[in-house]
Amino acid sequence: MNIFITGGTTGIGLSLAKLYLEEGHRVGVCGRHIDKFPSEIKNKYKLLKCYEVNVVNREELRAAMGDFANGQLDMVIANAGRSVGAKSKTPQFSVANDIVDINVKGVLNAFEFALELMVPQKKGHLVATASVAGFMGLPGAGAYSASKAAVLKLCESYSIDFKRLGIDVSAIAPGFIDTPLTQQNNHKMPFLMSSDKAAKLIKKALDKKKILYVFPFRMKIIVTLLDKMPRSWYRALMGLKMFNYSSDH
């Protein structure tokens, strides 16, 4: 398969790239700082292509995906994303805008350019990395939660819209995965999982063309309960001291 992964320089994207390369697939990765991509992996796999691309820059991303695919693209994993870092009561709106641009428009851009290649093929697989944070409005992380909720809903809609075109759509909603993104968190992260283990689980779900994959299982149970409970209960629970912000701003 020809697989293009946005945000493949570190974390979940890098682990997925390694996994698909090990299985003999052609993999394209992009990130804004391609020098972060481990050189030993770059040197090991001839089937790998790296692109220094910001997913918000439409021209850059279209050119990279076109160059990689060379007419055939089987899967795109729109994985590039950023989070808030230290949570605060007062949103930093410049950060919030950046989060929405990368996490939502970045996915839209990747899907748009992938579809340009997949529609004539009458097959393909669009994948986006959402988050369990997309199921509820997390205190101190409004823009992140909103961006991931948007990704979940986009994928749900597209999974219906693109079925008739022969194109599958999957949304992946991980809990806490040990990556540079979560290494900046200073709060507890229950059920924290390594990115290599997460990539194995994600790949298994993608092999089965799951439309939505929420994991780890224990986190899925908690998120389902939080999502389904009356919103006044949810707000009261999140108002408890144990969920307090790490910063008072």
Residues that bind ligand NAP (CB under 6 A): 6-13, 30-33, 36, 54-56, 79-83, 102, 129, 131, 174, 176-177, 179-182
Nearer to ligand NAP, 8 or 140 (CB): 8
Least separation, in Å, of the C-beta of 30 and ligand NAP?
6
Least separation, in Å, of the C-beta of 212 and ligand NAP?
14
Least separation, in Å, of the C-beta of 50 and ligand NAP?
10
Comparing CA positions, the residue from 130, 106, 126 lying closest to residue 116 is: 126
- Report the C-alpha gap between 7 and 32 in whole angstroms: 8
Least separation, in Å, of the C-beta of 9 and ligand NAP?
4
Nearer to ligand NAP, 3 or 181 (CB): 181
Nearer to ligand NAP, 117 or 141 (CB): 141
Least separation, in Å, of the C-beta of 15 and ligand NAP?
8
Nearer to ligand NAP, 124 or 216 (CB): 216
Nearer to ligand NAP, 38 or 239 (CB): 38
Least separation, in Å, of the C-beta of 157 and ligand NAP?
19
Q: What H or E segment, with its residue span, contains residue 31?
A: strand 26-31
Residue 164's identity, in one-letter code, is R
Q: Residue 121 to residues 1, 51, 124, 249: CA-CA distances in angstroms?
A: 13, 24, 8, 51
Burial class (CB in 10 A: 0-12, 13-18, 19+), 91: middle
Comparing CA positions, the residue from 47, 45, 49 lying closest to residue 31 is: 49
Nearer to ligand NAP, 56 or 119 (CB): 56
| 140: helix, strand or coil | coil
Residue 56 has, within 13 A of its CA and on its CB side, a CA count of 11
